[in-house]
Structure 1
Amino acid sequence: METLTTYRQRIFGLDVVRALAIILILCSHSTLLLFPESQSNIVKTIQFFGTIGVDLFFVLSGFLIGTILIKHIENNKTSFKDFANFWMRRWLRTLPNYYLVLLINIGLILLFNAELPNQLFKYFFFLQNLSQKQPDFFTESWSLTIEEFAYIVGPVLLIILGIFFKRLNKWSFLVVSLLIIASAIYHRFLFDFNVTVLPENFSWSKSLRKVVVFRLDSIYYGFLGAFFGFYYTNLWLRFRFVSFIIGVILFVVTHVYILINKLNPDSFSTFFNVYYLSLIAISIVLTFPMFSNWKSNKVLLKPITNISLWSYSIYLINYSIVLLSLQRYIQMSELSLIGKFGVLLLYLALTFVLSYLLFTFFEYPILKLRDSKRYKRWFKN
């Protein structure tokens, strides 16, 4: 099987980001499998790796999609048909896997005689967490909803600007990106300002971090990275080391501040509600000048590329399908440390094997069709 692009065509540093993101998520979910009731600070810290992993995905996705949209603008391909082609390519990348895994999750719920969520239909239209917390079903789908809306909102605003100003340019792209970022921050501020009586067992992650209207900015910080990387390439390259160091320092200082002040997102902290997610996204995008120019490493090239290629399948399969199924059949509290280690190996093995099969026999053929001459001829007509 050939990769979607040759190793030379792929950007190794961005594959590293994608691989790192999914590894952080797997580390986080592993603690939920092995120590579901643990209140250990170490376990809680590792569980928070998942937050960072998803934000890496968000910023990376914004960077890549933003670059595609910039090329649309520069090539004057900004008609509705051009953007429709963009959406079709995106949806062929994301929707088939999503709907297949959604149906598998529904099948597992019926198999286990569990209760399906109310308004299940929302999952088919990516509405399950638009402005409210998502039910505890197919929980990893929250991030896909945010991405799908990000892919729609930006181009729609660009189309509207194009109608008024006849021609789009780089400043149109920048204005749209900044408007969406400002809107998400504004909605988080309103959330923090208006919620005066907290519900019992308040969860910052479910009520804010995983809700579309509060999170679109994370992807659009990636758009800003694409803007500077494309239009100010010389500065992007010249200051890549400085930018990387600033990004790392900002990331570390942010978390040191949390530790020193003993901040807890579930205690309804204004810092977490309004500022934290933006600071993390900014710190990540500041590392992209370095990552986007990281040349391939012969030793790591193949494993990093493969993990990167499988990452979407891994993300969809590892939790609801593998982890929750294992938890139904295995009582982790009754196992020894060696037993838990064995379950961890089983969890990782099943995740990677099933993800490989999903990618190889379902995701990859669809992507090949999307990139085929037949598809391109069909869409030009």
Structure 2
Amino acid sequence: MKPVASRLRSQRSNAIDCIRAYAVMMVLIFHVCAVYGPETLDPVARWFLKYGFLGVDIFFPLSGFLITGFLLKNHDTASIRTFFSRRIFRILPLYFLALAVYVLASLTTGQNIESLHNIWQNILFITGWTIFHNGREMVPYTITWSLSVEEFAYILIGTGAWLLRKRLVVGLLVLAVFSLSLRFYLELQDLPRTYYYPPARLDAIAMGGLLAWTVSCQKKYILGILTGALVVSLVLANLNIVLWRTLLFVHVTLMTCIVIYCIQTYLLSYRNRIIDCAASVGFYSYFIYLFHYFNISILALVARKSGVEIPFWIFVLLALGITYAQAVLSFRYFEGPAILFGRRQETERPQKPIFRPSE
């Protein structure tokens, strides 16, 4: 029998997984940059220090595209149940394992101990909300803020698919306009931490969902619309600082949607060794995202204690390599079995999705 990862990867598009690989690498390198500090970085590393945090924003439209692709065709009650079941068994087991590791590491090292009593915020997936209202200082494991955005979107879009059925696209359009308008309003008020606030970040996921609809309808003009929208967004962003802060994430979303569309239209089945290698990183990107900072912290501590100076890019490769190895083991013995257990609980007849499943 094939290993769990091989069985699940055979159902996915390697090219789509490459997007995940690029996104999670941006985040990982950004966090390594934060450890080293700007004065020690080369020009490429300084670019990642400035823009690497946007890797998180690449995940949002990709998630919207993939989940909406399923829901557009499978919106009966049984399929909605399947949608939520798959989200639960894909996300929760590893997420709660990561929280347990965080708590253990915090108690062992004494780091971030003052905020550990608020770990309930992570358990409830509300870190993005609490960071916006109360600041980052008393929120543990702040990297999970993006999960609070994703889970909120899954609930809204999954419920919307059940209630709206074939009118889901209208709901997505309303969600995109509302979220973007809210972010503009919050930026206009100069409120801090708008970046983390889930209701103000849902436009990216909704736009990914709208892209899924256009692809399913085989609308040929979408690439021109996306390109034109990106140009308009870039022009408007240069008018004032409020528009720049509001539209920065729209730029990332539109560029990601363009890449997704090109892959989905022209490169979905394209493979070579480089793509296969990058796709394997994308396949394990959820684990890498949740656990990479633990390994970065351990590597930095070992280097400091031993007096060894590790060159920046060697440090990046070490952090990635260690986390990737852990991800392979986790998927084989923990995540993969959890996913397959969830699939066995599905009682409805499997339906052919619009896109290759990727979760």
TM-score (norm 2): 0.82
Instruction: Go from structure 1 to structure 2 and tell me whether the alpha carbon gap of 1:361 and 1:8 turns closer, same or farther (over 3 Å shift).
Output: closer
CA shift at 1:341, angstroms?
5.3
RMSD after superposition: 3.3
- Which residue does the alignment assign to 1:377? 347
C-alpha spacing 1:252/1:243, structure 2 compared with 1 (3 Å): closer
The answer on whether the counterparts of 2:61 and 2:253 sit within 8 Å (CA) in structure 1 is yes
How far, CA to CA, are the matches of 2:338 and 2:71 in structure 1? 22
Change in Cα spacing, 1:313 to 1:252, as seen in structure 2 (3 Å) is farther
Structure 2 residue aligned with 1:178, among 170, 173, 176?
A: 173
CA–CA separation in structure 2 for the residues paired with 1:2 and 1:359: 8
Give 2:318's match in structure 1, choosing from 311, 334, 346: 346
1:112 aligns with 2:109: yes
Give the letter for the 1:323 counterpart.
Answer: I
Matched, 1:210 2:196: yes
In structure 1, the residue matched to 2:356 is none
| 2:326 equivalent to 1:326 | no
> Hey, what's the Cα distance between the residues in 2 that align with 1:252 and 1:4?
42
CA distance in 2 between counterparts of 1:105 and 1:141 reads 11
* Match status 1:313 vs 2:287: yes
Q: Which amino acid aligns with 1:85?
A: T
2:84 counterpart of 1:87:
yes
Cα offset for 1:99? 0.7
Alignment CA distance shift 1:329-1:139 (3 Å): farther
Q: Deviations over 1:238-296 (max 9, x none)?
A: x75x678x38x948994x998x89x9xxxxx3034322212321222122221113132
Query: How does 1:360-371 map onto structure 2 within 5 Å?
Result: 360-371=332-343
Superposed, which structure 2 residues align to 1:1-381 within 5 Å?
1-3=3-5, 5=7, 9-35=11-37, 43-73=45-75, 77=76, 79=77, 82-114=79-111, 115-117=113-115, 118-130=117-129, 132=132, 133-134=135-136, 135=138, 137-161=140-164, 168-169=165-166, 172-195=167-190, 207-231=193-217, 233=218, 235=220, 246=227, 250=230, 254=234, 269-293=241-265, 294=267, 295-319=269-293, 321-331=294-304, 336=309, 340=312, 342-372=314-344, 375-377=345-347
Q: CA deviation at 1:28?
A: 1.8
1-side partners of 2:39 and 2:232: how far apart?
Answer: 28
Cα distance in 2 for residues equivalent to 1:160 and 1:297 = 39
Instruction: Report the residue type matching 1:178 in the other structure.
Output: L
* 1:25–1:49 Cα contact (<8 Å) kept: no
**25-34 or 83-92, larger mean C-alpha shift:** 25-34
Counterpart residue identity of residue 98, structure 2:
V
Q: Where does the alignment leave 5 or more consecutive residues of structure 2 unmatched?
A: 351-359
Q: How far off its partner does 1:376 sit?
A: 2.1
Aligned AA for 1:67?
A: G
Distance 2:60 2:231 in 1: 16
- 1:154-211 Cα offsets, whole Å, 9 max, x none, are 22234444xxxxxx21xx111110111122112212212334xx7xxx6xxxx12222
Residue 243 of structure 1 contacts residue 287 of structure 1 at CA under 8 Å; is this kept in 2? Answer: no
Partners of 2:220 and 2:348 lie apart in 1 by 40
Matches of 2:43 and 2:231, distance apart in 1: 19
The percent identity for this pair of structures is 23
Please tell me whether the aligned partners of residues 24 and 52 of structure 1 are also in contact (alpha carbons under 8 angstroms): yes
Q: Which one scores higher on RCO, CA 8 angstroms, separation ≥ 6?
A: 2
Distance 2:35 2:53 in 1: 17
The answer as to whether partners of 1:70 and 1:173 remain within 8 angstroms in 2 is: yes
The structure-2 alpha-carbon separation of the partners of 1:278 and 1:366, relative to structure 1 and needing over 3 Å to count, comes to same
Letter in 2 for 1:215: R
Q: Cα offset for 1:101?
A: 0.3
Task: Work out the CA distance in 1 between the residues paired with 2:144 and 2:114.
Answer: 15
Q: Is the 8 A contact 1:96 1:363 kept in 2?
A: yes
Tell me which amino acid in the other structure corresponds to 2:118.
Q
Determine if contact 1:109/1:116 at 8 Å carries over to the other structure: no
Letter in 2 for 1:121: W
Q: Which residue is equivalent to 2:354?
A: none
Q: Are 2:236 and 2:243, in contact at CA under 8 Å, matched by a contact in 1?
A: no
CA 1:127–1:37: 2 relative to 1, 3 Å: farther
The answer to whether the Cα contact below 8 Å between 1:83 and 1:155 also exists between their aligned partners in 2 is yes
